[in-house]
A and B are shown apart, each in its own frame.
Chain A
Amino acid sequence: MKELDDIQKRLIEEIADLHEVPVGAYNFRANSELAGRNTTANIDIISKTDKSGIDIKIKPGTRKESVHIPVVISASGIKETVYNDFYIGEDSDVVIVAGCGIDNCGNQDSQHDGIHRFFVGKGAKVKYVEKHYGSGNGAGKRLLNPVTEVYMEEDSYMEMEMVQIKGVDSTDRKTVAELKAGAKMVVHERLMTHEEQYAMSTYDIALNGDGSSADVVSRSVARDKSYQKLDLCVKGNAACSGHTECDSIIMDSGTILAVPALEANSVDAMLVHEAAIGKIAGEQLDKLMSLGLTEAEAEEQIINGFLR
């Protein structure tokens, strides 16, 4: 494992809650270079030869193992597109922690576009955590445009936690999923934008098999002059159930555009969408202020809870 500098260590802490080298398989990428890798008997990580990126191969039946693949960028002016493919064997049960932290103190933009594809085997169970974080006060922007494709075999389960709370100037996230019979997908997205940041998040989920289901809950906060567009589309192509929820808090001069879309192509598809945008409720502020918090402290607590 290469020695990481202090900025890189801080970024890793932010995106992966890691203070030291994790147990299990990992692949650390720092400033576009491999900084460390570990494989296990059940989890192999292989560098791609035709383009930048890795293949993560998890053997069938692998249980209670984890893979960490954090990416950090601490130099200004790096632009990269990385292709990571996850092959998750049948009946395995694993945790995958990805995420990208960019610290940009320079004047040039830094950009990481991670293209992740998940091939989730029959009956496999995956928990995927992805955190994005930006810091640094240079004029150069911090840009992240992740694409996540999920292909789920029968009776597989995938839980995704997608978090972007701070410091990313512009993001265009795309998540595409196709689910076979009995597959279940649960997504919790948390998004907060500040200043003049721009965030777009698009979901396109196709429920193709009988008994498949998706539950996508997006909670977001737009502050200052930031802009968010949330575009959630679920297609019911079989006897399936889909639920999406966009719940947003708008502050200052923020803008939020929520575009819910449901497409039922089967008479047995049950699809539900909920969307709400509003400022922090006055009574919530009143309650916390009556406990002795200032208005600013109350706001912070309400947002922290909302984005938990």
Chain B
Amino acid sequence: MLELKGLSFEVEENGSSVEIIKDLDLTIEDNKFTVITGPNGGGKSTLAKLIAGLKKPTGGKILFDGTDITDMSITDRAKLGIGYAFQQPVRFKGIRVIDLMKMAAGHDIQFKEACAYLAEVGLCARDYINREVNASLSGGELKRIEIATVIARKTKLSLFDEPEAGIDLWSFQNLTKIFENMRKDKDNGSVVIISHQERILRIADEIVVLADGKISRKGTADEILPQILGTDAAVSSCAMLD
């Protein structure tokens, strides 16, 4: 179980401090499929980075299975069982797909195991394991590999930051199947996806709408979807227009 208690994150911008996340409370139960959505700039990616440890909160606490992980490094959080898929997959010179999969699995995996993880994201291992994780791969391919590294970790909590970002619509149609499969397979632990895609929102156990650094709505897909689809709730948070 992941608990965020009074979580805040502020940055200095042009001499004044700006609050990106504002005193946020949120609990993610075990084996739940949670989708965080909301307008751009609402703090979704920042929240994911705070959970994974890429950013340190300026206030509040993060508890994972009761352990306070607020001051833990990225590495220690990863070892405790937090997986995180970057919105913009990182490229490496010389590191091959198989190397990344080995690091993700935490042991020396064989072709067959790599094949299983890559097949889950719709890639044929034979074509990819010896490719370098660099700009020679397309945005969609990098994204799939990024997701495969998180699947290979078999963590208790997997965070995916906008898996649809930077992917063409056709590729994304296939990608959504990955998450639908994850949803069916409860062995995958808790899954938290930041997404704007209706297909992803529909399979959520819980939808959290984050706007202006705060949770503006929270509930099941049936409760939340009618409120945000076809309205401007997920696209506009401009106080001047309210």
Contact = CB atoms under 8 A, between A and B. Distances in A.
Contact of B90 (A219, A287, A305): A287
Interface string B45-56: 000000011100
Contacts of B96: 305
Contact of B95 (A219, A281, A294, A301): A301
B86 interface: yes
Contacts of A293: 75, 103
B75 A292 contact: yes
A248 B34 CA distance: 42
B92 interface: yes
Contacts of B93: 219, 247, 305-306
A80 interface: no
A295 B75 CA distance: 8
Nearest to A294: B75
A304 B93 CA distance: 10
Interface residues of B, number: 25
A283 B90 CA distance: 7
Interface string A279-303: 0010110111111111100000110
Contacts of A308: 94
Contacts of A284: 90, 92
Interface residues of A, number: 22
B106 interface: yes
A212 B30 CA distance: 63
A13 B197 CA distance: 55
Contact of B86 (A281, A287, A302, A304): A287
A307 interface: yes
A152 to B, nearest CB: 28
A305 B94 CA distance: 4
A288 to B, nearest CB: 6
Nearest to B153: A291
B104 interface: yes
Contacts of A247: 93
Interface in B130-160: 132, 149, 153
Interface string B157-195: 000000000000000000000000000000000000000
Nearest to A290: B84
A289 B73 contact: yes
A286 B75 CA distance: 9
Contacts of A305: 92-96, 99, 132
Contacts of B99: 301, 305
B74 A307 contact: no
Nearest to A288: B103
Given A287-B86, A301-B99, A307 B94 contact: yes
A306 B96 CA distance: 11
B79 interface: yes
Nearest to B54: A286
12 contacts: A247-B93, A286-B54, A286-B74, A287-B90, A289-B74, A290-B52, A290-B78, A291-B104, A292-B79, A295-B73, A305-B94, A305-B96
Given A293-B103, A301-B95, A305-B94, 5 more contacts: A286-B54, A289-B75, A292-B153, A304-B94, A305-B96
Interface of A: 219, 247, 281, 283-284, 286-295, 301-302, 304-308
Interface of B: 52-54, 73-75, 78-79, 83-84, 86, 90, 92-96, 99-100, 103-104, 106, 132, 149, 153
Leading 8 A-B pairs by shortest Cβ distance = A305-B94, A305-B95, A289-B74, A308-B94, A292-B78, A287-B90, A289-B75, A290-B84
